A and B are shown apart, each in its own frame.
Chain A
Amino acid sequence: MSAAPGAVEHPRTALGLGLVVWGLGWAAMLWLDGRLDLANLALAFVLTSVLSAIWWPAWLSIPVTVGAALAFNWSFVPPRGTLAIDLHHHALLLGSMIGVSAVVASLMARLRRHAAALRTAVERSEQLRQWGETLRDASDPIVHLGGLRDAVASLTQRPVTVLALKAAMPEQEDPRAAVLVGEVSGDMRAALWHCMRQGEAMGPGTHRHRELPAWYLPMQGRDSCRGAVAIGDVYEDDTTLRLQAQALCNQMGVALERLQTARDAAAAHERAHTHEVRNALLASIAHDHRTPLATIVGAASSLLQQAGRLAPEQRERLARTIVDEATRLSRMTDNTLQLARLDAPGVQLRCDWESAEEIVGTALQRARQRSPQRPLRARLEPELPLLWCDAILLSQLLDNLIDNALKFSSDDAPVELLVRRLDSCIMLAVRDRGPGIAPSWQERVFEVFQRGADHGDAQATAQVVQSRPGVGVGLAVCRAIARVHGGELRLRARGHGGCSFECLLPLKEAPPHPLERQPRPESVP
């Protein structure tokens, strides 16, 4: 602090300044001698002593003042040339001179000490603040372990070694589970691990192992300890220094703990999600796949055992049922597998430039093969841009949406495919004139049916499952397909009844148009 006197001088400069003050003061006293009386000379002495105390520490200032007082006695106090004192009041004068000077010198010294302590405290809190900011901005605080080591080393001026966990605390000491920065001996490594496990400081001034020649400070987070720091060559406690180093370590501990908590939460979320999907898929297989299987077994066993008594038309009807149900089962299997695939991490799409017209055309053709009698039509805006997508997945999405629309509308109600460009995306919609879907179910139809997942609503679930057989996986796959393309699938109620499933896909900048080229003679047969 610049306001504290003498705070900024170098010790040698300070010594010199004090000497100059004494020199000038003594010269002034010699000059004043004979012009003023002894009491005034004494005041000049006190002034000189006080001024020198501004720069000199108390241990120098006080002895010098005492010596100077004796010299004053010799030079100015009668009888001059001796240390004897004639009059009592002269003795009192000398005593007061020394006393006042000593008090001022020690007050000055105390002031200087306070200023220095304040400066250190400010520097340290600034260090803590900067360190906190560094850690807050770091995505992975473990890369700042070197920074922690440097900070503690510059604080304590001692060799520092840092140990921090990469992930969860291992059962046993395991070098692969932690990062170590700095020189370390075997004992030190064991002590660091011990300190990290116990989460308590060790070494001089602490409650544990005070005999150690080093401090071991844990990196304490809120709930756990994420690492430890060893500070070597410590033979006695310096509480403020140790607490400051501990504060730096704890900041690191909190940062590491925060990261670990976030990782744990993400992993737990992932696990829960996987579990949920697996349950849903199992439920779907258990429920949806059994129905067509039961029909197939029924029809096939009837053909096997009653063939002789069945009319040809009956036999044909049974055979057709088997083919239809087996085809349905196959599509369900495709959907279930696709859902599992899309849900796995790191799913790979086979994207290419695709034409919406072609994908819709293929879907229409396939739907016609399955349901030749149903009215189906497509309306596509002219001049649609190409889509960057996985054609197989998008075909599967449209197949499912068309199946769904056909299933829930009457035989003569039209099902329409609509493709339209909206601002920065393309909308592929499949619209029906069926009974529609209750608002409370508009989101839930996209969820994979899970038995017992929702006890409060079990009856409603049962109703929906009864009225929408096999709805479970199909729409969930559709939404997953839209989402892996960076798009969305939504359900909208239509104005005059029925619903519209709308898949929105983002557009990418189209590739350059090929040029019409001249005919190549060799390509003509």
Chain B
Amino acid sequence: MTLRVLLVEDDRDLRATLREALQVEGHDVVTAASLSEGLALLSHGAVDFVLLDLGLPDGDGEALLASLRRHRNWPVLVISARDAVEHKIRLLDAGADDYLSKPFSVAELLARMRVALRHRGTSLAPAVTRYRRHDIEVDLAARRVLRDGAAVHLTPTEFDLLAALVRQAGQVVTHRRLLAAVWGVEHVEHTHYLRLYMAQLRAKLERDATDPRLLLTEPGVGYRLAADDDALH
């Protein structure tokens, strides 16, 4: 599948490296070295995917994200040298699909792009309601969770939490989003609810709760359900 990718990155070497890596994968890459250039390219034509660096010479990539989110539903993957957690959370809450902290490997970049495309790629595709990885199967519409083919009983809260993660499988979901989705916006500060219910979910779904392979923690940011088996191919 050939994608038209917009890469906004001010560092020349990194821009060239990423462009070549993406072209090798068969994608069509347009590059911008500044915020204004990126905005201009966006206004000219449709793209399938946006790779956005944040520290740009003429402004913050956050501005581009905001303007993009007002009109379009194109997937946006943020790449940033900034390691500040607050910043990552703000971007995810502002509508970025995922983030990658520099330095990252090309393999990581491609995997995150695949996951983001699966969720946003074609806006006509139905929302994700099924999930399968190794021995676990989830069907949200039927409210069914199977482990090795046997039904797993989840409490309503556990199910809602799992559902929120399944809808964004492979992507990080911030604490605030999870809390708002499951307990309501008045509970967005109560991170300890998540700790307790994630522990319960792990006990029911993971082979070894102390070494999770499915319900992954992104320290300080949120949780990520490991990408669906289908998303990896």
Q: Which residues of A contact B (CB under 8 A)?
A: 323, 326-327, 330, 334, 350, 352-355, 357-362, 364-365, 377-380, 386, 390-392, 394-395, 510-511, 513-514, 516-520, 523-525
Instruction: Say yes or no: is B148 at the interface (Cβ < 8 Å to chain A).
Output: no
Contact with A along B190-233 (1 / 0, CB 8 A): 11110111110010000001111100111110000000000000
CB pair B163–A516 under 8 Å, yes or no, is no
Q: Could you jot down 10 A-B contacts, CB within 8 Å?
A: A360-B210, A378-B210, A378-B211, A391-B220, A516-B155, A517-B183, A523-B160, A524-B143, A524-B163, A525-B163
The reply to whether A516 and B211 form a contact with Cβ atoms under 8 Å apart is no
Bound-complex Cα distance A519 to B202 (A): 20
CB <8 Å contact, A352 and B191: yes
Quote the shortest CB–CB distance from B196 to chain A (angstroms).
7
Task: Choose among A357, A390, A394, A520 the residue that contacts B210 (Cβ–Cβ < 8 A).
Answer: A357
| CB nearest neighbor in B for A338 | B83
Point out the residues of chain A lying under 8 angstroms from B196, CB to CB.
386, 513-514
In the complex formed, the residue of B with least CB distance to A366 is B219
Q: List, in ascending order, chain B residues with CB within 8 A of A357's CB.
A: 199, 202, 209-210
Given contacts A355-B198, A517-B157, contact A523 B163 (CB under 8 A): yes
Chain A nearest CB, measured from B167 CB (Å): 8
Q: Select which of B192, B198, B202 is within 8 A of A511 by beta carbon.
A: B192
Q: A358-B198, A518-B156, A525-B140 are in contact. Are A350 and B210 (CB under 8 A)?
A: no
Which of B85, B160, B216 lies in contact with A519, CB distance below 8 A?
Answer: B160
Let me know if B169 is at the binding interface, CB within 8 A: no
Residues on A with beta carbons closer than 8 Å to the beta carbon of B146: none
Say if the beta carbon of B46 comes within 8 Å of chain A: no
Asked whether B217 lies within 8 Å of A390 as measured between CB atoms, the reply is no
Q: Is the C-beta of B13 less than 8 angstroms from some C-beta in chain A?
A: no
Task: Say yes or no for B159: interface residue by CB 8 A criterion.
Answer: yes
Query: Do most interface residues of chain A lie in helix, strand or loop, or is the interface mixed?
Result: mixed
Select A359's contact among B86, B209, B216, B219, beta carbons within 8 Å.
B219
In the complex, B182 has a CB within 8 A of chain A: yes
For the complex of A and B, the 3 pairs showing the least CB-CB separation, nearest first, are: A519-B156, A353-B192, A391-B219
Cβ–Cβ contact A353 & B141, under 8 A? no
- How distant is B153 from chain A, measured CB to nearest CB, in Å? 13
| Of listed B105, B195, B213, B219, residue having the most chain A CB within 10 A | B219
User: Taking A360-B210, A519-B156 as contacts, is the C-beta distance between A350 and B85 under 8 angstroms?
Assistant: yes
- Is B127 among interface residues, defined by CB-CB distance under 8 A? yes
Q: In the complex, what residue of chain A is closest to B191 when comparing beta carbons? A: A352
Flag whether B149 is at the interface (Cβ < 8 A): no
The answer to whether the Cβ of B122 comes within 8 Å of any Cβ in the partner chain is no
CB nearest neighbor in B for A378 = B210
Please encode chain B, from 66 to 97, with 1 for each CB lying within 8 Å of some chain A CB and 0 for all others: 00000000000000000101100000000000
What is the bound-complex CA distance between A486 and B192, given in angstroms? 21
**A296 CB to nearest B CB, Å:** 12
B103 in the interface, Cβ–Cβ < 8 Å? yes
User: Given the complex, which residues of B lie within 8 Å of A354, measured CB to CB?
Assistant: 195
Partner of B217, one of A362, A511, A518: A362
Chain B residues near A523 (CB, 8 Å)? Answer: 160, 163, 181-182
Pick the residue among B86, B195, B213 that contacts A353 (CB under 8 A).
B195
Taking the nearest CB of chain B, how far is it from the CB of A375, in angstroms? 13
Interface string of B128-168 (1 = CB under 8 A from A): 01000000000011010000000000011101100100000
User: Which residues from B are CB-within-8-Å of A360?
Assistant: 210
Asked whether, in the complex, the Cβ of B217 is within 8 Å of the Cβ of A358, the reply is: yes
How far is the CB of B21 from the nearest CB of chain A, in Å? 13
Task: Indicate if the CB atoms of A330 and B210 lie closer than 8 Å.
Answer: no
Which residues of chain A have C-beta atoms less than 8 A from B192's C-beta? 353, 386, 510-511, 514
Question: Do B155 and A514 have beta carbons less than 8 Å apart?
Answer: no
- A residues less than 8 Å from B103 (CB atoms): 326-327, 330
Query: What are the residues of chain B within 8 A of A524 when measuring CB–CB?
Result: 140, 143, 163
A365 to B219 Cα, complex, angstroms: 12
The smallest C-beta distance from A381 to any residue of chain B, in angstroms, reads 10
Which residues of chain B are within 8 angstroms of A525 by Cβ–Cβ distance? 127, 129, 140-141, 163
How far is the CB of B185 from the nearest CB of chain A, in Å?
13
Partner of A361, one of B127, B181, B197, B217: B217
Out of A323, A362, A510, A519, which one reaches B219, CB within 8 Å? A362
In the complex where A361-B212, A514-B190 touch, is A392 in contact with B198 (Cβ < 8 A)?
no
| Docked pose: A361 CA to B202 CA in angstroms | 11
Contact between chains at B160 and A520 (CB < 8 Å): yes
Which of A360, A361, A364, A386 has the most CB atoms of chain B within a 10 A radius of its CB?
A361
Give Cα distance in the complex from A491 to B217, angstroms: 28
Give the complex CA separation of A350 and B85 in angstroms: 9
B85 touches A392 (CB 8 A): yes
Docked-complex contact B85 and A516, CB < 8 angstroms: no
State whether B193 touches A514 (Cβ < 8 A): yes
Query: Separation in Å of the B195 CB from the closest CB of chain A?
Result: 4
**Given A358-B217, A361-B211, A350 and B159 touching (CB < 8 A)?**
no
A395 and B86 form a contact (CB under 8 A): no
Task: Please measure, in the bound complex, the distance between the C-alpha atom of A353 and the C-alpha atom of B191, giving whole angstroms.
Answer: 6
- Closest B-chain residue to A523, C-beta based? B160
Chain B positions within 8 Å of A323 at CB level? 105
A380 near B210 with CB under 8 A, answer yes
> Which chain A positions have C-beta within 8 A of B220?
350, 352, 390-392
Are B86 and A350 in contact, with the CB atoms below 8 A?
Answer: yes
Which of A334, A380, A519 has the most C-beta atoms of chain B within 10 angstroms of its own C-beta? Answer: A519
Nearest Cβ on chain A to B205's Cβ, whole angstroms: 13
Find B195's partner among A350, A386, A520 (CB 8 Å cutoff).
Answer: A386
- In angstroms, Cα B213 to Cα A175, docked, is 67
